[in-house]
Amino acid sequence: MRSATDSVLQPSDEVVEAMAGGAPVVALESTIISHGLPQPRNLEVARELEGIVRAAGAVPATIAVLDGVPRIGLNEVELERIATESGLRKLGQRDLPMAAALKASGATTVSATSFLAARAGIRVFATGGLGGVHRGWTDDQDESADLDTLARTRITVVCAGVKSILDVPATLQRLETRGVTVAGYRTDTFPGFYLHPSGQPIDWRIESPGDAAAVMRGQDALGGQESAFIVANPVPEDQQLDPGLHDRILAEALAAAERDGVKGQAITPFLLGYLVDGTGGASLEANLAAVRGNTALAAEIALAWAKP
């Protein structure tokens, strides 16, 4: 792994200074800005999440690719560009060489953000929910690239579980098979993204940011596979989407996708969009509540990790 001064990457001055001084840094993805929220709220949320990190005493590093160059930390002009520029691509890890060669611009998904953060030497990453195994996998074998990237990238990801449109039990099984460590943050049940619980038990539980940092040190001390550590942090129960509404609208969304033949890369935005519309925006608010909580926790973990 190379440092943030690697010429392939372009870190912001703030990130360079923080990394050089051993200060805590938290990576943030940019897909939620460009593809996940309407304007102008997307820019407001981007600034808010960076503010949460700074308020905790850490440095935010929102990651994106602009004109083919991976940017590790965005200035105000670059953040506005991600929030407002039309035609930005959605970039997974596999897309990064193409974007570099063709000087394309795009927002980074979990897989691309994890890879670039780790390449820059950043250890902690906050996001909403991970990708995973899609429902009906036995027919279409549709599985997010997030899982492969996390199986070979030493990064700590704070998330609210995996998106509830997915096959959650199958995703947990795949994470186990691929050797990705998963722990619930103050919970024995895997979070359900929009919902506080998914109903799936989780093998390990941690109680504090210090516990997370200790696990990270244990990963490094033991060596072996360079896999991720997933800190599964549930959305607060009083801010979750109403479970009955969630289940009803998701069933309608899945039926609509089946009827319209929506598959592959189109299925996730289709289902998430259907949930936003069908819940009158309540699913979006639950998503944002989860992202805020994950960002705050990630900053605390980064602070604990930065302590000698």
90 is in an annotated binding site: yes
SS3 state at 264: helix
Exactly one of 29, 50, 143, 300 is catalytic; which is it? 29
What pLDDT, on the 0 to 100 scale, is given for residue 269? Answer: 83
pLDDT of residue 2 exceeding 90, the answer is no
Give the DSSP letter of residue 237.
Answer: G
d(Cα 285, Cα 276) in Å, to the nearest integer? 9
Amino acid making up residue 48:
E
Question: Number of folded domains in the chain?
Answer: 1
- Locus of tokens 């009803």: 248
Confirm whether 37 is domain-assigned. Answer: yes
Our CA angle for 130, 132, 137, nearest 5°, is 160
Confirm whether 1 is domain-assigned. Answer: no
Confirm whether 219 is domain-assigned. Answer: yes
Confirm whether 46 is domain-assigned. Answer: yes
pLDDT in tens, 234-270: 999 999 999 999 999 999 998 998 899 887 777 778 8
CA dihedral 30, 267, 192, 28 (to 10 degrees): -10
Confirm whether 2 is domain-assigned. Answer: no
103 is in an annotated binding site: no
142 is in an annotated binding site: yes
d(Cα 212, Cα 124) in Å, to the nearest integer? 10
d(Cα 204, Cα 42) in Å, to the nearest integer? 34
- Locus of tokens 């490094």: 220
140 is in an annotated binding site: no
Verify whether residue 29 is a known catalytic residue. Answer: yes
- CATH code of 207's domain: 3.40.1790.10
Domain that holds residue 22: 10-306
CA atoms within 13 A on the CB side of 260: 14
Exactly one of 17, 163, 237, 263 is catalytic; which is it? 163
146 is in an annotated binding site: yes
Confirm whether 72 is domain-assigned. Answer: yes
Verify whether residue 163 is a known catalytic residue. Answer: yes
d(Cα 53, Cα 161) in Å, to the nearest integer? 20
What token pair was written down for 132?
């995973």
β-pair partners for 201: 189
Confirm whether 3 is domain-assigned. Answer: no
| 248-272 exposure pattern, b = at least 16 Cβ within 10 A, e = fewer | ebbeebbeebeeeebeeeebbebbb
For strands 156-159 and 205-206, give the pairing.
unpaired
pLDDT in tens, 94-118: 999 999 999 999 999 999 999 999 9
Q: What's the pTM?
A: 0.94
pLDDT of residue 203 exceeding 70, the answer is yes
Confirm whether 17 is domain-assigned. Answer: yes
What token pair was written down for 114?
């994890």
